[in-house]
């Protein structure tokens, strides 16, 4: 089996926790299958400086900051997600309003279709920054069925339009009254996914690895309700 290279953005407490959670998921799977797999973690700036560092390892980016010339199967998807303005324009053409949102719908896209995890939100009285700690987020945020249906429909339409491959996606969104609006799409479990650790089974980092290697997933459960 291929060795694995996890790539994170600017080092911080949050990116370290994200990478550690994904690495743990990979190593746990290796132990259960007796696979000789090693996992390295690097800063995206190192990959930008020399993309040959990837060699023949399996790339697991936890950042959109990747070299444009990187031989990466999801390169087109990552480029699309990186261009937030263009993606918002596409959604506006679909008659969806767009703008900054403080909720995330985790979509676990398996080979057999999507599983929708419970929504993640920002904890009350928390200042949200790009690299805020995972403790700034909480899961689950309870939505009514009336709210869930258009949210799931948007997620499914968006991923189909992008020809998305199996992975965990975070669709950031918000509400204006009863109206859903789109913010952006992340093709990996970003900082908000930390809220799933010890709360959701499997957590979103374990789900991401399972999707990447084609391991079947049939259900997502919440362990504790706060």
Q: Say how far apart CA 104 and CA 119 lie, in whole Å.
A: 6
- DSSP element (H, E) containing 180: strand 179-186
The pLDDT of residue 135 is 64
Domain boundaries, the chain: 4-69+76-222
Report the chain (226 residues): mean pLDDT per 10 consecutive residues.
Answer: 87 94 91 72 92 90 92 93 97 96 97 97 67 72 92 97 98 91 98 96 98 94 72
Instruction: Look up residue 98 and give its DSSP letter.
Output: B
The pLDDT of residue 10 is 87
Q: Find the length of the chain.
A: 226
The pLDDT of residue 99 is 94
Decide: helix, strand or coil at residue 88.
Answer: helix
The pLDDT of residue 74 is 94
The pLDDT of residue 47 is 92
Does residue 118 contact residue 103 with C-beta atoms inside 8 Å? no
Span 4-69+76-222: which CATH code? 3.30.470.20
């Amino acid at each position: 089996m291929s060795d694995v290279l996890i790539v994170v953005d600017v080092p911080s407490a949050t990116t370290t926790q994200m990478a550690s959670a994904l690495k743990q998921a990979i190593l746990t799977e290796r132990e259960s299958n007796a696979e000789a797999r090693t996992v390295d973690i690097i800063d995206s700036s190192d990959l930008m400086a020399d993309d040959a560092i990837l060699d023949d390892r399996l790339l697991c980016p936890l950042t959109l900051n990747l070299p444009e010339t990187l031989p990466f199967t999801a390169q087109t998807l990552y480029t699309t997600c990186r261009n937030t303005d263009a993606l918002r324009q596409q959604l506006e053409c679909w008659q969806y309003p767009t703008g900054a949102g403080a909720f995330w719908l985790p979509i676990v896209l398996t080979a057999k279709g999507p599983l929708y995890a419970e929504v993640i939100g920002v904890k009350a009285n928390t200042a949200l920054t790009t690299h805020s700690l995972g403790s700034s987020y909480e899961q689950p945020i309870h939505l009514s069925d009336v709210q869930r249906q258009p949210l799931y429909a948007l997620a499914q339409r968006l991923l189909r339009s992008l020809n998305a491959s199996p992975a965990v996606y975070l669709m950031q969104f918000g509400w204006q009254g009863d109206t859903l609006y789109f913010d952006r799409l992340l093709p990996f479990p970003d900082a908000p996914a930390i809220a799933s650790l010890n709360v959701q089974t499997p957590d979103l980092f374990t789900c991401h690895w399972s999707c990447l290697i084609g391991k079947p997933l049939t259900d997502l459960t919440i362990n504790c309700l706060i």
